[in-house]
Amino acid sequence: MKKFEHVNRVLSMSNGEISIRGWVYRKRGSDNVLFIIVRDVTGIIQCVISKNDVSEHVWKNANKLYIESSLEVKGKIHKDSRAPGGTELIVTELTPISIGEPFRISKDFSTEFLLDNRHLWLRSQKITNVLKARHYVSNYIREFLDSKGFYEVVPPIIVKNECEGGSHMFEVNYFGEKAYLSESGQLYGEALIYSLERIYVWAPSFRAEKSRTVRHLAEYWHIEPEMAWYSHEDNIKLQEEMIEHVVQKFVDEHNDILERFNRDPKILKKVKAPFDRITYDQMVDRLQSMDIKFEWGDDPGADEEKALTQELDKPLIIEKYPRGMKAFYMRPDPSNPKYVLNDDILAPEGHGEIIGGSERIWKLEELLDAMKQFNLDPKDPSYSWYVDLRRFGSVPHSGFGLGLERFIKWLLNLDHIRDAIPFPRVINRVYP
Ligand code: 4AD
Ligand code: MG
């Protein structure tokens, strides 16, 4: 985008003329002149077609084009401060590639209509820019983890166990046997630290939560680092550094994308480690002092998260939740086993939780104890392999999960998480 903006991908250049190809983005004109804005992946350029300067054939073809028709055009580059981007193309030749039908998205921009036509709405400047941002963010995450000695691994997607509790899992008929779509690759990631030490799972996770919110997808992309020898403190430090790295790099290299989302880079520049950190108990106090009805033992929802972060520039870390509220694998705090060594990171400006992580129980007896409390059978083959990991050279370890779409939603300040993924899966939609 940056390098080629408003120049478009040039196919050929000869005698001072260039050829480009792309799609009709906008079209307007009069009896004698047509202005066709052509878009390609690099940006847009205005193409000017004057009836008197082109053949009759070109003029006729140009008039037949619809929004989103594909075409190739040839002409001379002309600097004009009035043209979008400051440059236009004075057309000499024009070849429609596919004129097609009148574009379906013209007047009706209702959310449902755009979602029904997602396969076409993906061409919009908005979604195009989100998807570019997503690509860059993914690169920065990989680059960061790679620099810290991590290996990327893949987990199975069809599983028999519950990582985060089974109430929100999609069932799969696995050759007549009941299985699920994985809600987290973490347990499998843990098995891989005994050889690779620092790994990250990059895979989709599935959540059958019946929540119709602006931050829940039924299928989202989950990045889950897992690290041998990392303590709770090491884990938090890594999360902070990763977020800082990605945000700072993005601001430095893709200010143009931020501008399109009216995102002030100065605010994002403040996202520097360390972040503010409070315990679960302190969060309860803070919420109560804001006159929000919230009892010890409650899980903060969207409203509470908003209240806690809407005035903040930096993410907020909430650590040490009461044990029974979180997953079975989290290590109780040795200095107060009523709590676990976990942390959630809330994005600022009310965007909500982007990371959930913890130190893991690594001693066999402690794990058996926890599984009993959570009614999980350590002999069940769905879990026995996980228990085994504590039998053979177990080590202290920690990890976390970042929801990629949640992160993008915050970075670009999107209203809804569905715009952070090309084909969103939400409660009432499984197509296109
Ligand atoms: O907090 P969660 O449920 O934690 C886990 O799954 C752990 N096993 C992660 C780990 O320690 N390896 O999910 C982690 C993150 C959340 O913080 C959020 O960013 C994202 O996954 N997430 C969702 N994103 C979109 N839609 C949903 N329904 C999501 N549920 C969780
Ligand atoms: Mg969570």
Ligand 1 atom at minimum distance from 218 CA: 28
Query: What is the residue whose two structure tokens read 């000017």?
Result: 48
Ligand 1 atom at minimum distance from 417 CA: 25
Quick one: pLDDT band at residue 28, thresholds 50, 70, 90? very high
Buried b (16+ CB within 10 A) or exposed e, 205-219: bbbbeeeeeebbbbb
Percent of the chain with pLDDT over 90: 89
Query: What is the residue whose two structure tokens read 């069809």?
Result: 158
- Closest among 265, 277, 227 to 397, alpha carbons compared: 227
Name the average pLDDT for the chain.
Answer: 95
Mean pLDDT of 48-70: 97
Q: How far is the CA of 327 from the centre of ligand 2 (A)?
A: 9
- Closest among 305, 300, 304, 278 to 291, alpha carbons compared: 304
pLDDT higher than 90, residue 79? no
Structure confidence at residue 6 (pLDDT): 45
Q: Give per-residue pLDDT as tens, 323-372.
A: 999 999 999 999 999 999 999 999 999 899 999 999 999 999 999 999 99
How many angstroms separate the CA atoms of 223 and 232, rounded?
A: 18
Mean pLDDT of 291-316: 95
If DSSP codes are grouped into helix, strand and coil, which group holds residue 410? helix
Q: How far is the CA of 343 from the centre of ligand 1 (A)?
A: 12
Structure confidence at residue 210 (pLDDT): 87
Count of positions (residues) in the chain = 432
Structure confidence at residue 8 (pLDDT): 66
Q: Give per-residue pLDDT as tens, 105-157.
A: 988 889 999 999 999 999 999 999 999 999 999 999 999 999 999 999 999 99
| One-letter amino acid of 48 | V
What domains lie within the chain, and their CATH numbers? 7-98 (2.40.50.140), 118-420 (3.30.930.10)
Structure confidence at residue 7 (pLDDT): 54
Q: Where are the alpha helices (DSSP H) in 341-403?
A: 364-373, 381-388
Give the H or E element holding residue 150. none
pLDDT higher than 90, residue 81? no
Ligand nearest to the CA of 346: 1
Mean pLDDT of 174-199: 97
Q: Give per-residue pLDDT as tens, 241-284.
A: 999 999 999 999 999 999 999 999 999 999 999 999 999 999 99
Show the beta-strand stretches assigned E in 15-102.
Answer: 17-29, 33-40, 43-50, 70-79, 87-98
Q: How far is the CA of 358 from the centre of ligand 2 (A)?
A: 10
How much is the CA Rg of the chain, to the nearest whole Å? 26
Best probe residue, ligand 1, of 162, 182, 199, 222 (max atoms within 8 Å of C-beta): 222
Ligand nearest to the CA of 417: 1
Structure confidence at residue 3 (pLDDT): 42
Structure confidence at residue 317 (pLDDT): 98
Ligand 1 atom at minimum distance from 220 CA: 25
Ligand nearest to the CA of 400: 1
Among protein residues, the one whose CA lies closest to atom 21 of ligand 1: 403
Mean pLDDT of 183-195: 98
Q: Give per-residue pLDDT as tens, 306-329.
A: 999 999 999 999 999 999 999 999
pLDDT higher than 90, residue 13? no
Quick one: pLDDT band at residue 4, thresholds 50, 70, 90? very low
How many angstroms separate the CA atoms of 235 and 74, rounded?
A: 56
Q: How far is the CA of 236 from the centre of ligand 2 (A)?
A: 15
Query: What is the residue whose two structure tokens read 């290590």?
Result: 331
Among protein residues, the one whose CA lies closest to atom 2 of ligand 1: 356
Structure confidence at residue 12 (pLDDT): 76
Cβ-proximal residues to 301 (8 Å cutoff; 6+ apart), any chain: none
How many angstroms separate the CA atoms of 346 and 362, rounded?
A: 27
Lookup: tokens for 332: 């109780």
Ligand nearest to the CA of 189: 1
Quick one: pLDDT band at residue 179, thresholds 50, 70, 90? very high
Q: How far is the CA of 106 from the centre of ligand 2 (A)?
A: 40
Q: How far is the CA of 368 from the centre of ligand 1 (A)?
A: 24
